[in-house]
Amino acid sequence: MPMCMKRKGGGGQCDEVPSLQMSVCSDCHTMEPGSLFLDHIKLYYALSLSLSLSLSLRLSDCLISEKGCICLASALSSNPSHLKELDLSYNYPGKSGLRLLSVRLEDPDCKLEKLKTDHASVSRARPRLLRYACELTLDPNTAGRNLSLSDGNRKVTYVKEDQLYPDHPERFGCWYQVLCIEGLSGRCYWEAEWSGVEAEIAVAYKSIQRKGWSNDSTLGRNDKSWSLYCSPDSYSAWHNNKHTGIPVPSSHSSRVGVYLDRPAGTLSFYSVSSDTLTHLHMFHSTFTEPLYPGFYVWDHNSSVSLCQIT
């Protein structure tokens, strides 16, 4: 997925920005070249090139996050004379990214004339993310006793009756939670579908506590786990017992896509409807251990299923 800079009057030719591994600003992450997510360093560098001709930078549907757009605004501020057109449609600029880029658009010292940000928070990149699809299986040894596993350990349902699971040190003793067998690193994508009253889709380190009613053993409520809470009328993202409210997806889809880019330190959640992704939330963290996908099924007759996407 090249990042193209088109010279006006140049017959539509594109010059691919070379990959760089360098430090430009302290808030930017240096990512491995070839990552699906465009490196913030490359974004900064693309606008910092000393080119005499006016440029049009087309970054439509490149999964650029709010931090990436903030980096773009910083580059425009440092080098205001280069760019006249910037296309950020089908990306996730966020409120701060949009505000800072709009300031540059109104800045008389900045040559930017056209800023395209339509279809913000929507992406058509699902087919590309499927390249990172992974097979997951729920681990019966971690399932809380009121959780029933089915469909080859790919579906978990809250039930009133205690299940006859044997004692196991990795079993969640109190909360209605389960983890997958597979620990993930690198870049991985998976999808899950929830139904019923409420559920959480999460990842956790294997070292998360399993016993007791404290936050230390609750997905999303400690520094060892990250989760997306889902209900028909409320969504929120949780980490270390802090949460961010999220608007309920307009599509009302109950399928959630999760993309882990561990080298870049990002964990992204999407609402999935056909091949369209609506961005829900992105966590930024330095992940120090493999991450195990997991679910918290809150109420009876609620369930979560791993989707077959490979």
> Quick check: 240 pLDDT over 70?
yes
Indicate if 135 and 230 belong to the same structural domain: yes
Which pLDDT does position 62 carry in this prediction? 74
- Determine the average pLDDT of the residues in 33-59: 54
Q: Are residues 235 and 153 in the same domain?
A: yes
Q: Report the distance separating Cα 91 and Cα 60, nearest Å.
A: 7
Percent of the chain with pLDDT over 90: 52
pLDDT tier for residue 75 given thresholds of 50, 70 and 90: confident
pLDDT at 85 over 70: yes
Number of domains in the chain: 2
CA atoms 115, 107, 38, 1: torsion sign: positive
Residues 115 and 138 grouped into a single domain: no
Same domain, 208 and 95: no
Query: What average pLDDT score do residues 42-57 get?
Result: 55
Q: What single-letter DSSP state applies at residue 248?
A: P
- From 60, 93, 120, give the residue that closes a domain: 120
Burial of residue 242 (CB within 10 Å: 0-12, 13-18, 19+) is exposed
Mean pLDDT comparison of 7-21, 24-38, 114-128, 208-222, highest-scoring range: 208-222
The last residue of a domain, from among 120, 148, 166? 120
Cβ atoms of 65 and 94 closer than 8 Å: yes
223, 296: one domain? yes
Q: Are residues 25 and 95 in the same domain?
A: yes
One domain for residues 266 and 177: yes
Query: Of the residues 66, 91, 120, which one is the last residue of a structural domain?
Result: 120
Indicate if 270 and 163 belong to the same structural domain. Answer: yes
Q: Are residues 34 and 67 in the same domain?
A: yes
Phi, psi (degrees; rounded to nearest 5) at 250? -65, -25
Condensed to tens digits (0 to 9), the pLDDT of residues 141-187 reads: 999 999 999 999 999 999 999 999 999 999 999 999 999 999 999 99
207 and 259 belong to one structural domain: yes
Which residue range forms the structural domain that includes residue 187? 129-306
Q: Do residues 153 and 186 share a domain?
A: yes
Query: Does pLDDT of 71 surpass 70?
Result: yes
Residues 142 and 203 in one domain: yes
DSSP 15-56: EEPPP------TTPPP--TT-SSPPHHHHHHHHHS--SS-EE
pLDDT higher than threshold 60 for residue 27: no
Q: Which of 93, 123, 122 is nearest to 105 (CA)?
A: 93
